[in-house]
Structure 1
């Protein structure tokens, strides 16, 4: 079993299958990012002394960006929902119970919705914690220099990860811009798509069919 920064990578048949699926489906950038999300999430969980199933956290982390890529990217749903649905189907094939599937589904569907996951079950909270650390550097100083070094040594960010992850977000959402309304991917398309028109919540209220 591989151990990185004191965190054991799940090595069950299901975990190995998930790893291979991500490696076969996603780019190297997204694969390494997903593994770092698991590791940073696990380290945050250890620091907070949370009790959770590491295998469920692993599946949530590995599938959290699956909705950005074919064949899992739908025409009309948010990419987070696509990834959550892919994880649900995967877990059902492995006979995982509905309560556990719900945790993983929520962990993926909510990982770009700030302010909510940290109040939910640990698997949900920790996928978001891992994403926020790796993408935004949130709680950066709460991880030791040794922990950060070990994680990055095992799964390198590369020279241009910041630009690369934004490009990956744009590639996965540019064909369905309506799904970015009210979430952080609107900022991505505003940066990357010169034709993107950001919807305005207040304009929608004022322009609704109600006559008041």
Structure 2
């Protein structure tokens, strides 16, 4: 079942790596995730790689493919822990998967970090290209922060290869909610608290200042 893998055209010279590892990643993620998340993650790879091209960053496409394709695996019940952030669940799943492929442990850690930090604004962009570009791809496909940096024809080619649903904005918010609603405490201090609050108007999110004030310290 590798036909889907090869169906993606080269987009401005960017291709999905043609290796046994990349094919295994494609198969694993397609079997694990919804079509919504599989197509989203595939677009994130292309947008991230294109951002690397624009920024003149050199990176290992296999590692970027691993990080982008696994970045939302932690939203799926099969890979969702009871008490860890979904980003960490996805990072752990990628690490477990990659360890059987004899990769350099330092490279596996780059993938782990890229996934773990992909919802943390203001930090990944200054880190290793695999980490920076995973977030760059997410920021384009979910948030549209860099929409104007991608020419129309390139953006449309990515979406033609891996289509967005007609209501993708609401669909992805729902997917984030479905993947985190059983552990709302893990959203403290991160963007997924906004998702819980959006879907549950009475959600009382943790407050950093309250934690400071209620600690055991005196004064």
Same fold (TM over 0.5): yes
Could you tell me how far 1:21 is from its partner in structure 2?
A: 0.9
CA deviations over 1:126-162 (Å, ceiling 9, x no partner): 0000000000001111110111010011111121000
Paired residues of 1:4 and 1:150 also in contact (CA < 8 A)? no
Q: How does 1:1-212 map to 2 (within 5 A)?
A: 2-6=8-12, 7-212=14-219
Off by >2 Å, runs of 4+ in structure 1: 1-4, 193-196
Could you tell me how far 1:71 is from its partner in structure 2?
A: 1.4
CA deviations over 1:54-88 (Å, ceiling 9, x no partner): 00000000000000002110000000000000000
SS of residue paired to 2:77: coil
SS of residue paired to 2:113: helix
Paired residues of 1:4 and 1:151 also in contact (CA < 8 A)? no
Paired residues of 1:41 and 1:129 also in contact (CA < 8 A)? yes
Distance 1:114 1:19 in 2: 27
Distance 1:18 1:97 in 2: 17
Stretches of structure 1 lacking an aligned partner (at least 5 in a row): none
> What is the aligned residue count?
212
SS of residue paired to 1:3: coil
CA deviations over 1:99-141 (Å, ceiling 9, x no partner): 1001100000000000000000000000000000000001111
Tell me how large the CA RMSD over aligned residues is.
0.9
Distance 1:127 1:162 in 2: 19
Paired residues of 2:111 and 2:131 also in contact (CA < 8 A)? yes
SS of residue paired to 2:198: helix
